[in-house]
Amino acid sequence: MSNKILFVDDEPNILATFRATLHRRFEVAIALGAAEGLAAFSESGPLAVVVSDLKMPGMDGISFLTRIKNIAPSTVCILLTGFADVETAIGVLNQGLLFRLLTKPISTVNLSLALDAGLEQFNLLFMRKQAEEKLAIFYEQLEKLVDERTRDLMIANERLTLEIAVRQQAEVELLKAKHAAEAGSRAKSEFLCNMSHEIRTPLTGVLGMLQLLHMSRLETEQENNVLLAIASAKRLSQFLSDILDISRIDAGKLHLQKVPFSLSNLKKTIIDFFAVAASQKNLGLEFFIDPRIPKILIGDLTRLTQILFNLVGNAIKYTENGSARIEVYPLQSTDTQERVLFIVSDTGIGIQDDILQDIFEPFVQAKNLPSPRFQGAGLGLAIVKRLVTLLGGNLAIDSTQGAGATIYLALCFQLPPGEGQAAAPANEHRPQVSACGRILFAKHDEMSRNVGKRMLEEAGYTVSTAKDGLEALRLFAENEFDLILLDIQMPVMDGYKTAKAMRCSALRDKANLPIIAITADAVSFDTEKFQAAGLDYSILMPLDTAALKEVIDDLTAKSSKRGKR
């Protein structure tokens, strides 16, 4: 390694300045003119860098550096010149003679940077040369060892043959294990699908009967008991949904959708949903949206809502005094995309430092919770983490135990090409809903079908039922309806095929009726089939009267707005 530098100039003052400035960092030699520079170079042996002025008496800088290169090709050459000579010097630089060309006046910083780069290149070449020399020696030694190694290689070859046979056997076993794992994964998916359907179907009946019971005349104590039972059934349903969501994400079966939506509407949804829970605990609930954020974004509204519901739900759950706050700010904007920062903060119990790194793993909860009411399954944040990753976002958490927690969420959304297209519906057809409420309800399970019919009738709708897709198509053709509810899993003809047949119906006045899909299988629900069949909305069993009515009313409102345009 070398840091020897030779400066050649015809001005003694410049040479003295260079030496005084750079002698602390480099081993500096100076020469007054080209002749003295050649002598100094010969006496000092090969130098790492030679810096020369262009215009010097007797021999100019280019000729001098050419001589240096002929003597020691690895030496790095730097030429100093004025602006008037730049064109000539650039020609030499392009020929490969020069490493750098510096124009006067030269700052100490620029000169130091050039010297550092030159030393680095020289030393790299020097080390490469050393490595090549060592490699040549190694090759000589290797040739001497070839004969001695031949016998060893023959023995090694025999061993290798045996190892290959063992490895091939291991690969066979590994392939068997892979097939067994894939079969296990398929069995797991099938099990989850079956369990989803088998659990949700009776749960629909239980929840439906409880809701019907709640609509009847009850004494105060009876009403409280029924409300507790309904809350428990909903909690069980939510727990089942969380487990299935985790399974769907891990299995890569959760498909994302891109639809236009408004953050203002999302704000209203969250405030309306959590207002009661916050009020019961005397907590403040705030939602701030920076006005710089576009009114319409394009992304997976369902998953964004699910993420915020989990975060806001946790904020309220783990806060006894104070407030929960949601803030939304723009991070980065382009013509086609908007990166948005969501901040969900609370003044609750916070999270211990020792579990912060694991808090987004399934079934992980804070330890030593002050009250049993804080207990849960520990799946909410795990789902949030997986959904954020699936959406290509980033997640961070900042918490102090006893002083609350703040979760930062950054997601990227697309922007609509024009304001006129921003509010376009997701499906090509335009569902038209009448306020009369004549509903065709197709469900293969008799108990769920009867319970659902009674729930809808109690809510004020007129309901006709079908046990499979063919019967639904017959009733669809023979009667007038305002809305269709289709079970996805039906015998004879499933919900996808039934919906597609209705969309392609010769009865064009009915082809645009809104169709809501009902499914108990959250694992294998196929978003592409959903869209291809022309379905407008999906509801996961067990059915909830209020949620179902909200969806129907929402479709009615959208239809009314389209009718006024």
Higher-confidence position of 207 and 480: 480
Does the pLDDT value for residue 199 go beyond 90?
no
- pLDDT, tens digit, for every residue of 461-473? 899 999 999 999 9
Q: For 228-258, how does the pLDDT look when each residue is reduced to its tens digit (9 = 90+)?
A: 788 777 767 766 776 666 666 666 666 778 8
Decide: 384 and 310 in contact? Cβ < 8 Å: yes
pLDDT of 437 > 90? The answer is no
pLDDT tens sequence across 311-364: 998 899 889 899 999 999 999 888 899 999 999 999 988 877 666 666 666 555
Residue 387, pLDDT above cutoff 50: yes
Q: What are phi and psi of 28, to 5 degrees?
A: -105, 130
Q: What are the Cα distances from residue 475, in Å, to 2, 320, 456?
A: 93, 53, 18
The contacts of residue 465 (CB under 8 Å, 6+ apart) are 440, 441, 442, 443, 449, 450, 453
Nearest-angstrom CA–CA distance, 299 and 431: 22
Per-residue CA distances from 497 to 144, 197, 427, 449 (Å): 78, 19, 17, 19
pLDDT, position 325: 94
542 pLDDT above the threshold of 90 = no
The pLDDT mean for the chain works out to 80
- pLDDT for residue 565: 45
- Min mean pLDDT across 175-184, 234-243, 552-561 is at 552-561
Of the ranges 166-170, 210-214, 234-238, 534-538, which one carries the lowest mean pLDDT score?
Answer: 234-238
Q: How confident is the model at residue 195 (pLDDT cuts 50, 70, 90)?
A: low
Q: Give the Cα separation of 493 and 7 in Å (integer).
A: 90
76 and 122 Cβ atoms separated by less than 8 Å: yes
What is residue 503's three-state secondary structure? helix
> What's 373's DSSP letter?
G
Give the percent of the chain with pLDDT over 70. Answer: 80
User: Which pLDDT score is estimated for 259?
Assistant: 85
pLDDT, residue 51, reads 92
Chain centroid, CA 95 distance in Å: 49
Task: Please name the helix (run of DSSP H) or strand (run of DSSP E) that holds residue 413, with its range, or none.
Answer: strand 404-414
User: For strand 404-414 and strand 394-400, is the pairing parallel, antiparallel, or unpaired?
Assistant: antiparallel
Q: State the pLDDT confidence band at 263, using cuts at 50, 70 and 90.
A: very high
- Cα 301 from chain centroid (whole Å): 15
Name which of 53-67, 474-488, 533-547 the model is least confident about: 533-547
In the predicted model, is pLDDT for residue 103 greater than 90?
A: no
In the predicted model, what is the mean pLDDT of residues 42-65? Answer: 87
Banded model confidence at residue 71, pLDDT cuts 50, 70, 90: confident
Query: What separation in angstroms does the CA of 172 have from each of 121, 158, 181?
Result: 52, 21, 14
Task: Please name which of 474, 449, 478 lies closest in space to residue 463, comparing C-alpha atoms.
Answer: 449
Residues 292-306: pLDDT tens digits?
999 999 999 888 988
- Give the pLDDT confidence score for residue 500 in this predicted structure: 87
Q: Other C-beta atoms within 10 Å of 334: how many? A: 10
What is the predicted pLDDT for the residue at 344?
94
Tokens of 243: 């487990």
Give the residue from 41, 55, 74 showing the smallest Cα distance to 11. 55
User: Per-residue DSSP letters for 508-561?
Assistant: TTTTT--EEEEES-SSS--HHHHHHTT--EEEESSP-HHHHHHHHHHHHHHHHH
Domains and CATH numbers, the chain: 4-106 (3.40.50.2300), 209-250 (no CATH), 259-422 (3.30.565.10), 438-564 (3.40.50.2300)
Q: Does position 424 have pLDDT exceeding 60, yes or no?
A: no
Amino acid occupying residue 336:
T
